[in-house]
């Protein structure tokens, strides 16, 4: 059983499958007797920025706070799973610099597949002009340069991705 606290940042375009993979990972971790606290951007945003504008300044502040919460949890022995697009590489790199035992999981998925999935209607809103800052459309999504794990969610089942992440954890910590 794992003893060293870790942080996993699951990143990718909206609708790439981050939350589905996170849920499969949580299940596998629980089966292995490992607890992790999920920090999901959608849930945290409701508290930190209840009426989000998604401006650059707001995003910079939001992801700084999110990373800091994760840092505090890991420093206190709590495993963390970030479920957040974090469209700028800087957001994830800052978290990596602040948090020991940091693992970046890039959920790679073609934009066309994300648009087709669109469970929250984000891309639909963007196409109607109701959302002006969607990563992958109006905002750039900066892919990680050196993620520890790459999951191709249009080709891999969530359970396979979760097992890949769990095996990496077991080898690393």
Is residue 124 included in any domain, yes or no?
yes
Residues 60-94 pLDDT 10s: 999 999 999 999 999 999 999 999 999 999 999 99
Residue 61 maps to a domain: yes
- Give the domain range for residue 36: 7-172
- Burial level of 55, CB count in 10 A (0-12/13-18/19+)? exposed
DSSP E strands in the chain: the ranges are 7-11, 37-40, 80-83, 102-108, 149-152
State phi, psi for 161 to the nearest 5 degrees: -60, -45
The whole-angstrom distance between residue 136's C-alpha and the CA centroid of its chain comes to: 15
Total structural domains within the chain:
1
Q: Are 84 and 94 in contact (CB under 8 A)?
A: no
Residue 47 lies in a domain: yes
Q: Would 2 be classed as within a structural domain?
A: no
pLDDT of residue 129: 81
Residue 97 lies in a domain: yes
Residue 62 in domain: yes
Question: What percentage of the chain reaches a pLDDT higher than 90?
Answer: 86
88-124 tens-digit pLDDT: 999 999 999 999 999 999 999 999 999 999 898 889 9
State pLDDT tens for residues 35-55: 999 999 999 999 999 999 899
pLDDT score of 109: 98
* In the predicted structure, residue 2 carries a pLDDT above the cut 70: no
Q: Which of 72, 86, 79, 78 is nearest to 136 (CA)?
A: 86
Per the DSSP assignment, residues forming a β-bridge with 10 are: 83, 105
Structural domain contains residue 144: yes
Distances from the Cα of 83 to the Cα of 45, 72, 109, 130, 167, angstroms: 12, 17, 16, 24, 19
Q: Where residue 143 sits, what CATH number does that domain have?
A: 3.40.50.300
Residue 1: inside a domain: no
Rounded Cα gap, residues 135 and 85, in angstroms: 8
pLDDT at 94: 98
What span, in angstroms and rounded, lies between the C-alpha atoms of 142 and 154? 19
Average pLDDT over residues 158-170: 97
């Amino acid at each position: 059983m794992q003893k060293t606290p870790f942080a996993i940042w699951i990143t990718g375009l909206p609708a790439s499958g981050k939350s589905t993979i996170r849920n499969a990972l949580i299940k596998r971790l629980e089966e292995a007797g490992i607890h992790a606290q999920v920090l999901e951007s959608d849930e945290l945003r409701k508290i930190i920025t209840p009426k989000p504008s998604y401006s650059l300044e707001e995003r910079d502040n939001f992801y700084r706070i999110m990373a800091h919460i994760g840092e505090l949890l890991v420093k206190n022995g709590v495993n963390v799973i970030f479920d957040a697009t974090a469209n700028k590489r800087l957001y994830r790199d800052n978290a990596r610099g602040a948090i020991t035992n940091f693992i970046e999981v890039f959920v790679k998925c073609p934009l066309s597949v994300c648009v087709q999935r669109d469970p929250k209607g984000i891309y639909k809103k963007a196409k109607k002009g109701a959302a002006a800052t969607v990563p992958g459309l109006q905002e750039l999504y900066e892919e990680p340069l050196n993620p520890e794990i790459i999951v191709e969610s249009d080709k891999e089942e969530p359970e396979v991705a979760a097992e890949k992440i769990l095996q990496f954890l077991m080898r690393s910590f």
